[in-house]
Amino acid sequence: MQLYKALRSRATTIEDNTEMSPATIATPIACTDAPLAAVDTDLLMVPWFSGALPAEMAGLDEATGGEIARAAASGELTKGTFDVFLAPVVDRSWKARRVALVGAGKADDFGTGVARKVAIVAGLAARQRHVERLAFVLRSGLADPSGDVDVRGLAQAVAEGLTLAEFSAGVYKTLEDTPSALPLCTIVLPGLADTSPESMGGVEAAVARGRLLGECSNLARELANEPGNTLTPREFAARAQAIARSGGVTVEVLDERQIEALGMGLLLGVARGSSEPPRLMVFRHEPADAPATPVLGLVGKGITFDTGGISIKPADGMERMKDDMAGGAAVACAMRAIGMLGAPIRVIGVVPATENMPGGRAIKPGDILKSAEGKTVEVINTDAEGRLVLGDGLWYARKLGATHLVDVATLTGAVVVALGKITSGILGAPDSWVSHVRRVADRAGDRVWPLPLFDEYRDQLKSEIADMTNTGGRPAGSITAALFLKEFTGGLPWAHIDIAGTAWADEAKPYLPKGPSGVAVRTLAELPFTAESWNKS
């Protein structure tokens, strides 16, 4: 009952947003270029760089009655990156009640990547302390026009970070107090107007963009966090539809009959083992003034629960397989951002959604499936289901007119062995397109690293009876999975991001709590804004 209530209230929250304007969805993050003493806040967060106390810290130190200098002398401040040091403000002429320094590493290494993480740490620390108003100081020294510091990029990253800190995973907890919400946030750029050619208006726009991208990442995390019993393929489609529609994106949800009419034998094959019917979500961002090409096609794996099917997984850790739709969630939530930010090109999103279950009518090892594009597949292992549904999904994105493809999927355990829980694998062709997606991911704060896609590995997918098998054995598991997908890309520029290791954090980091990470949302959302350089790449 409790579960049911929680579900209903959640669903209505999203539904209710359908008609809302972007501004009413979340409280905006404010910006100011006021001097620190004039910032009226409960907690003034300042990134702290290791090494000597910079001159501008002097005022802060005085305001705390020398606490900062004392901590620096005792060694307390030389502790690690992301440590938080708190001191009350004693100077009555200051409006802030407390100051916090957050370890931000070496000043020379400070960029958008560190800024985003430090802002997450700041936001989480403020929530933990039930702070109502938080001000995050983008240090004035960084807004120096003589350097080539990208103030807008930093401000966007900080807004993303503060917003990412809002996410709470314990949605079904009834016995504990709900954790405090994110405080009202202000980003402070002291003296920006005097020291930088950058206008406050430009910074404010960057902050709004960061806020939105953070929110869309959190929506994807909410979806990935949802268990298999609440987020069935139908429920996933309904929520994703509400999320993307409220961002101005056209959404179509195809049911099992329409999927069958399209001939998607791979998606239907995986769905056979479940009593929940599959769904195919199609998202379209089609601005009236967009050119005919390029058209970006985003495809996301939407397995709402992966038992492995007849090739069933071991019980230990199987509960984690509720997030096997994280790639699909990333596509749906990136589409919302793309719509709201008004990307200048056409973008199509495709998310095949189904459970992978071992029901009485489930596909069996050795079964042959026929894909919508015509190729036949011998299913050696029913647990290699992601590539099956993505094969039909990639084909459909092409059929709808995509000229450039990116897919995101929790595809292989092998990528976790190769790159661990920090970095997603990226594979695809041609190299120029893969490198471009890599660069965008880097800037968006999603760590990705390439694995090779040499043709020689294709031998591992040879079948005696069909065009290919769906598994290539243990060696190079992530590569053979990607080579399987390549068969469905029709030679278009295509990049595949394997997020099996990065979609879910098993261990908390200061900047990433346990649970869903929202990986790839910002990368996918930023991509269509880089289209000008695509023919060059």
Show which residues are catalytic.
Answer: 313, 387
451 lies in the site for ligand BES, by CB under 6 A: no
Instruction: Pick one of 156, 412, 489, 523: the residue that binds ligand BES (CB under 6 A).
Output: 412
Looking only at the bridges linking them, the beta strands covering 376-378 and 368-370 are antiparallel
Task: Kindly tell me which of 96 and 271 has the beta carbon lying closer to Zn ion.
Answer: 271
For tokens 């800024």, what's the residue? Answer: 115
Residue 382's CB: how many other CB atoms inside 10 A? 27
Distances (CA, A) of 324 to 143, 361, 365, 375: 42, 22, 21, 25
User: Is residue 414 a contact point for ligand BES (CB under 6 A)?
Assistant: yes
Which one-letter DSSP state was computed for residue 429? E
In whole angstroms, the minimum distance from the beta carbon of 383 to Zn ion comes to 7
Beta carbon of residue 506, minimum distance to Zn ion (angstroms, whole number): 17
424 binds, among ligand BES, Mn ion, Zn ion, none (CB under 5 to 8 A by kind): none
With CB atoms as reference, the residue minimizing the distance to ligand BES is 413
Cα–Cα distance for residue pair 433/439, rounded to 1 Å: 10
Q: Which helix (H) or strand (E) holds 258?
A: helix 256-261
Min CB(315)–ligand BES separation in Å: 14
Q: Which is nearer to Mn ion, 244 or 500 (CB)?
A: 500
CB of 96 to ligand BES, least distance (A): 44
Interface with ligand BES, residue 386, by CB under 6 A: yes
CA distances from 97 to 41, 45, 134 (A): 7, 11, 10
- Residue choice 59, 65, 202, 413 for contact with ligand BES (CB under 6 A): 413
Helices (H), 133-251: 151-164, 192-195, 200-225, 233-245
Q: Does the footprint of Zn ion cover residue 386 (CB under 5 A)?
A: yes
Tokens representing 472 are 């290539």
CA dihedral 425, 428, 433, 435 (to 10 degrees): 30
The one segment of 87-95, 183-191, 208-216, 411-419 that binds ligand BES by CB under 6 A? 411-419
Selection from 403, 452, 457 nearest residue 426 by Cα: 452
Q: Which is nearer to ligand BES, 31 or 500 (CB)?
A: 500
Applying CB under 5 A, the span of 40-48, 78-86, 299-307, 496-504 interacting with Mn ion comes to 299-307
**Residue 477 binding target from ligand BES, Mn ion, Zn ion, none, CB below 5 to 8 Å by type:** ligand BES
349 binds Zn ion (CB under 5 A): no
Residue linked to tokens 């209903």: 8
DSSP assignment of 58-110 equals HHHHHHTTTHHHHHHHHTGGGS-TT-EEEEE---TT---SEEEEEE---GGG-
What is the radius of gyration, based on Cα positions, of the chain? 24
Q: Is 383 in the site for Mn ion (CB under 5 A)?
A: yes
Size of the site for Mn ion (CB under 5 A): 3
Do residues 524 and 406 make contact, with C-beta atoms less than 8 angstroms apart? yes
Cα→Cα distances 452→99, 270, 410, 427, 428, Å: 48, 28, 18, 7, 8
Q: Which is nearer to ligand BES, 162 or 520 (CB)?
A: 520
- In whole angstroms, the minimum distance from the beta carbon of 385 to Mn ion comes to 5
Report if residue 378 touches ligand BES, rule: CB under 6 A.
no
Q: Which of 160, 204, 306, 355 binds Mn ion (CB under 5 A)?
A: 306
Residue 384 touches ligand BES, criterion: CB under 6 A: yes
For residue 334 the two structure tokens come to 């990136």
Among 471, 502, 517, 523, binds ligand BES (CB under 6 A): 471
276 binds Mn ion (CB under 5 A): no
Nearest residue (CB) to ligand BES, 114 versus 224: 224
CB-count exposure of residue 257 (10 Å: 0-12, 13-18, 19+): exposed
Report the partner that residue 413 touches, choosing among ligand BES, Mn ion, Zn ion, none (CB closer than 5 to 8 A by kind): ligand BES
**Residues from 287 through 326 that contact ligand BES (CB under 6 A):** 306, 324
Q: Are 102 and 82 in contact (CB under 8 A)?
A: yes
CA distance 262 to 252: 14
Task: Select from 306, 323, 487, 526 the one that contacts Zn ion (CB under 5 A).
Answer: 306
CB of residue 520 to Mn ion, shortest distance in Å: 19
Distance of closest approach, residue 306 Cβ to Zn ion, in angstroms:
4
Q: Rule CB under 5 A: say whether 324 interacts with Zn ion.
A: yes
For binding to Zn ion (CB under 5 A), which residues are involved?
303, 306, 324, 386
The binding site for Mn ion (CB under 5 A) comprises: 306, 383, 385
Interface with ligand BES (CB under 6 A): 306, 324, 381, 383-386, 410-414, 416, 471, 477, 500
